[in-house]
């Protein structure tokens, strides 16, 4: 039996067309959950209009200026990856969405350390191992009974999921994409790797989408104090309360979806 590779009949324009179709269908199907995106986006952007770096001489930056600019640049980097993550999952690139989220979590953990230990800024810019392996650095610090980086456990746990399914070329990253078709009338089958990954059900798709929005909400929560403090005439307390309330609503939505998935699973087990 011969198994020709997919590449002989793969075309860029068809791929682009399929991406845009996936995007439009996903936005229509998951409109309810997509309503959460502009709310989170608005929370990310809320303090930005009133932040003035007050940098007048970029050639002679003070240590405080360099520190503030670095942290705020990482904040904007995370915000960019929120857009990239959501558009990837809507286009049915689930693994790529995980990969983008992993980078954003790395950036958030980096912010946590820079805020707590501003004296390590040079290490960050020099690509010191403690920053290149920031997840491990934070994990080690959290082994102390008085956790050095509280509220990071959920992000670290999701970082592991992202690493497994979206950031490395090990088997778990692509095994769910591989397909060997049934032989045709000539005895030939096709060996291919799917360019799109769509969850088995719309409910499962919703779960991934809501979970990713929740993870980015947690990232925003961890960066809120430093970023809010840079904004002038900005009510950091009200902003924090809005982030907390939004996070609770998304958490509730996630729990509701999990219950529905559980009922579907139990019903399927009962009919086997």
**pLDDT score of 171:** 55
pLDDT digits (tens, 9 = 90+) for 158-183: 999 888 875 555 555 555 566 667 77
Check whether 134 has a pLDDT greater than 70: yes
> How many of the other CB atoms lie within 10 Å of CB of 177?
14
Structure tokens at 166: 């979206």
**pLDDT score of 7:** 45
**pLDDT score of 53:** 83
Q: Give the C-alpha separation, 80 to 78, whole Å.
A: 5
For the chain, the average pLDDT equals: 87
Structure tokens at 92: 């049915």
- Give the end-to-end CA distance of the chain in Å, rounded to a whole number: 34
Segment 231-259 mean pLDDT: 96
Segment 3-30 mean pLDDT: 81
Check whether 204 has a pLDDT greater than 80: yes
């Amino acid at each position: 039996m011969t198994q020709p590779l997919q590449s002989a009949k793969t075309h860029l324009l068809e791929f682009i067309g399929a991406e845009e179709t996936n995007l439009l269908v996903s936005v229509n199907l998951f409109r309810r959950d997509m309503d959460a995106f502009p709310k989170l986006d608005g929370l990310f952007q809320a303090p930005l209009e009133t932040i003035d770096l007050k940098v007048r001489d970029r050639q002679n930056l003070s240590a405080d200026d360099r520190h503030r600019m670095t942290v705020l640049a990482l904040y904007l980097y995370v915000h960019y990856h929120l857009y990239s993550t959501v558009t990837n999952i809507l286009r049915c690139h689930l693994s790529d969405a995980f990969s983008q989220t992993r980078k954003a979590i790395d950036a958030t953990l980096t912010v946590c350390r820079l805020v707590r230990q501003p004296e390590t800024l040079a290490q960050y810019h020099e690509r010191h191992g403690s920053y290149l392996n920031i997840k491990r650095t934070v994990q080690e610090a959290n082994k102390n009974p008085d956790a050095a980086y509280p509220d990071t456990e959920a992000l670290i746990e999701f970082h592991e999921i992202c690493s497994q399914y979206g950031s490395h070329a090990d088997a778990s990253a692509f095994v769910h994409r591989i397909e060997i078709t049934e032989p045709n009338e000539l005895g030939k089958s096709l060996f291919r790797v799917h360019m799109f990954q769509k969850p088995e059900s719309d409910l499962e798709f919703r779960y991934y989408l809501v979970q990713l929005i929740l993870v980015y909400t947690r990232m925003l929560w961890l960066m809120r104090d430093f970023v809010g403090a840079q904004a002038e005439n900005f009510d950091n307390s009200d902003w924090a309360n809005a982030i907390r309330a939004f996070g609770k609503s998304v958490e509730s939505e996630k729990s509701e979806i999990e219950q529905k998935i559980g009922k579907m699973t139990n019903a399927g087990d009962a009919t086997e």
